[in-house]
Chains A and B, each alone.
Chain A
């Protein structure tokens, strides 16, 4: 059995707060970029079987745009910022006044813009988390992909594969109301990182 399955409820609450603070800051950053209010859902934190990791973004085969950063430093992990194609177009239209062509995929310019947006948002997520925990967390340069959600998210599960068939995901969704823009953050700390996060936050370790 996965040792993380035994995490007590209050520890899961601590991780929810981690997701809340990180995504809260990212939502603020996005709100400034868009000059519009951005809402955020309460984070979900749970040990999810590999088969179901993509459920929140529409299933394994759903095509999504994902910006991926590997987090290095004291508490390594994987971070994904995932949006659907509809939201990606809205973002490009709102922020850059680019009207992406419907069928031809994305141009290099559009890719680069989306990657930068992901970078800003993930960066603000992580920097607030680093401030909050006093841990050193440094993201790698972001990589972007448009592909099936399962193929993308499974890249973040390798560290969990060695110890079981499920992974602990901190998932936050934000929405920009009238434009129906939705995005997802997935923070997947490496299994070894949880003790560091908990001890940095003064959570007693039995």
Chain B
């Protein structure tokens, strides 16, 4: 039995994995876990997206892993360096929940769906097919992405374990 090798992806963080390592990010609420995979070279990447667009950023320098629009191009670059071929990339994603539903003037409560929309828009721009997703609803998710199989395992308190 091979020892499972986990690579932790923090909040507003991105990592890549090869040779069977498993990318893992915990406690996705409104954040989105976006994964890319090149099956032939077995290079996998994951980003924990927190906000839809860097246009609102007031930090300098910005954390490119945090925003949907800046993280995807960077992740593609990292994976290319690791030997992946972007034309073969397929994407999966999970998260983007609306944890609490109530009426508020604040737009920040809709951040989950906006993160999902923004990630999809970026994937379209880079012509990367989204082959599976488990997004929205109102519960948190922990995800693990296997860099040898490309299987994304999603754990949640309410829904148990699911594979996409």
A residues bordering B, Cβ < 8 Å? 2, 50-51, 54, 60-61, 63, 68, 70, 72, 76, 140-141, 143, 145-152, 154-155, 157-159, 161-165
Contacts and interface: CB of A to CB of B under 8 A. Distances in A.
Given A140-B103, A161-B66, A147 B31 contact: no
B11 A151 contact: no
B26 interface: yes
Given A155-B99, A159-B108, A149 B30 contact: no
Contact of B27 (A68, A141, A150): A150
A161 B101 contact: no
B141 A151 contact: yes
Contacts of B28: 150-151, 154
Contacts of A155: 29-30, 99-100, 109, 111
A22 to B, nearest CB: 21
B3 interface: no
A147 B59 contact: no
Query: Which among A2, A76, A145, A163 has the highest number of chain B CB atoms within 10 Å?
Result: A145
Given A158-B108, A165-B63, A149 B103 contact: no
10 contacts: A51-B10, A145-B99, A145-B139, A147-B29, A147-B140, A148-B157, A151-B97, A154-B11, A154-B27, A154-B31
Interface string B84-121: 00000000000001011111111011010000000000
Contacts of A164: 59
Query: Which among B31, B63, B140 has the highest number of chain A CB atoms within 10 Å?
Result: B140
B51 interface: yes
B40 interface: no
B27 to A, nearest CB: 2
A143 B27 contact: no
A50 to B, nearest CB: 4
Contacts, number: 107
Contacts of B50: 50, 154, 157-158, 161
B125 interface: no
A147 B158 contact: yes
A119 to B, nearest CB: 12
A63 B29 contact: no
B68 to A, nearest CB: 12
A143 B100 contact: yes
Interface string B115-149: 00000000000000000000000111110000000
B1 interface: no
B155 to A, nearest CB: 9
Nearest to B95: A151
Contacts of A163: 57-59
Given A162-B59, A164-B59, A72 B27 contact: no
A143 B109 CA distance: 12
A158 B31 CA distance: 10
Query: Which among A151, A155, A159 has the highest number of chain B CB atoms within 10 Å?
Result: A151
Nearest to A62: B27
Contacts of B109: 70, 155
